[in-house]
Amino acid sequence: MFTQALQDAFNEQIKHEFYSAYFYLQMSAYCEAHNLFGAAKWLKVQAGEEQEHAMKLFDYVLDRGAQVMLQAIAQPPATFTSLLDLFQQVLAHEQKVTALINRLYELSVKENDYPSQFMLQWFVNEQVEEEKNATAIVEMLTLVGSQPQGLFMIDSKLGARTAKS
């Protein structure tokens, strides 16, 4: 049975996933305004993925016969000191989301909810990939510093990202 505690926790996670979409979309707008079109595209694709994650949770709650209760989403940050600063915030954000997913998984274990544990395993694996990607970008940006040629090369590489199928 889907307990009230799990319903509340899943609804909270839906909010966090929609916030993530806003977070990345705001960052995309910032990059677009600063002529970092590759990073803007990467972040826009990421925003779409986060929306898909929210909807995956949304549908799961409904499939379990529980109630979805959408919550207010906070305004994300809109200014950054550099592309490195922006992606450092991406990494910190993904680390926070990992902690949230882990807590939700722990609750599903405590509540002996095996279907939720099984479903959340996908999110646990996804967070490994999210942190790996963010870390790699931060490391590349750290290596090139503020060298225009390096930033141009990384921006071009980021622009090659396509949405997952």
Q: What is the mean pLDDT of residues 134-149?
A: 95
The tokens for 4 are 């009230």
Mean pLDDT score across all residues of the chain: 96
pLDDT, tens digit, 9 for 90 and up, residues 10-58: 999 999 999 999 999 999 999 999 999 999 999 999 999 999 999 999 9
Residue 65 has pLDDT above 90, yes or no: yes
Share of the chain above pLDDT 70, in %: 99
- The span from the CA of 133 to the CA of 164, in Å, is 14
Non-local (6+) Cβ contacts of 147 within 8 A are none
- The span from the CA of 146 to the CA of 45, in Å, is 25
Question: Hey, what CATH topology would domain 4-159 get?
Answer: Ferritin (1.20.1260)
Q: What is the DSSP letter of 82?
A: S
Higher pLDDT, 1 or 33: 33
The tokens for 95 are 């680390």
pLDDT of the residue at 100: 98
Residue 80 has pLDDT above 60, yes or no: yes
Q: What is the mean pLDDT of residues 64-71?
A: 97
Non-local (6+) Cβ contacts of 127 within 8 A are 94, 97, 98, 101
Helices (H) and strands (E) counted in the chain, each on its own, are 5, 0
pLDDT of the residue at 146: 85
pLDDT confidence of 145, banded at 50, 70, 90? very high
Task: Please write down the HEC assignment for all residues of 86-150.
Answer: HHHHHHHHHHHHHHHHHHHHHHHHHCCCHHHHHHHHHHHHHHHHHHHHHHHHHHHHHHHCCCHHH
Torsion of Cα atoms, 30 then 36 then 40 then 42, to 10°? -140
- The span from the CA of 2 to the CA of 52, in Å, is 22
| Residue of 133, 150, 130 whose CA lies nearest to 141 | 150
